[in-house]
Amino acid sequence: MRLLIDFFPIVLFFVAYQWHGIYAATAVLMAATVLQMGLIYAIDRRLQTVQKATLALVLVFGALTLVLQDERFIKWKPTVLYGAMALALAAALWGWKKNVLQLLLGSQLRLPPPVWARLTQAWIGYCLFMAVLNGYVAAYFSTDAWVDFKLWGYVFPVLFLVGQGVYVARHLKDDTP
């Protein structure tokens, strides 16, 4: 169920784009993201910071796209989001000596501090990679190609998360005596 909630805005965006173009798809994405966050809030009784940031960016960049009739805004939203995430994780880890991933997930996963540091570094690298990749596709490819990239580009987060799961599984502390 959670997987459906996570991916339905992009699927609806893709379908709306195919039928009615980028501006209708942008409006659908905005509405679907509001609904998505409402469902997540109803289930969890809270939104994570990244979910709030995603909602804000979708609404701001979507509104700019619609009001100014300029598709570049919605195309650059993922680059801004991924870049901001990389910057926040890096500033917290190296500037303030705080590991955001450990703060968020430490109660659920018992991992040694060096493993948390490597996980955070991997997330920083992944977010930078995705920011640059989306920026490149947004800047140098057609809107059709960018929309296809957004749909089929979900292979990147899936592979990254599977890799993170394999890495974490090797380092989980066993609580059994």
Q: Which domain holds residue 102?
A: 71-177
Q: For Cα atoms 153, 41, 10, give the angle at the middle one, nearest 5 degrees.
A: 20
In terms of domains, do 50 and 85 share one? no
Q: Tens digits of per-residue pLDDT, 80-117? A: 989 999 999 999 999 999 999 898 888 888 889 999 99
Q: Tens digits of per-residue pLDDT, 45-73? A: 999 888 898 899 899 999 999 999 999 98
Structure tokens at 70: 């300029």
Question: Which of 46, 68, 90 represents a domain boundary (last residue)?
Answer: 68
**Range with the poorest average pLDDT among 19-23, 50-54, 165-169:** 50-54
In terms of domains, do 36 and 106 share one? no
Q: Tens digits of per-residue pLDDT, 28-38? A: 999 999 999 99
* pTM of the predicted model as reported, rounded to 2 decimal places: 0.81
pLDDT for the residue 176: 44
In terms of domains, do 85 and 145 share one? yes
**177/143: higher pLDDT:** 143
3-class DSSP string for the chain = CHHHHHHHHHHHHHHHHHHHCHHHHHHHHHHHHHHHHHHHHHHHCCCCHHHHHHHHHHHHHHHHHHHHCCCHHHHHHHHHHHHHHHHHHHHHHHHCCCCHHHHHHCCCCCCCHHHHHHHHHHHHHHHHHHHHHHHHHHHHCCHHHHHHHHHHCCHHHHHHHHHHHHHHHHHCCCCCC
In terms of domains, do 63 and 50 share one? yes
pLDDT over 70, % of the chain: 96
pLDDT at 1 over 80: no
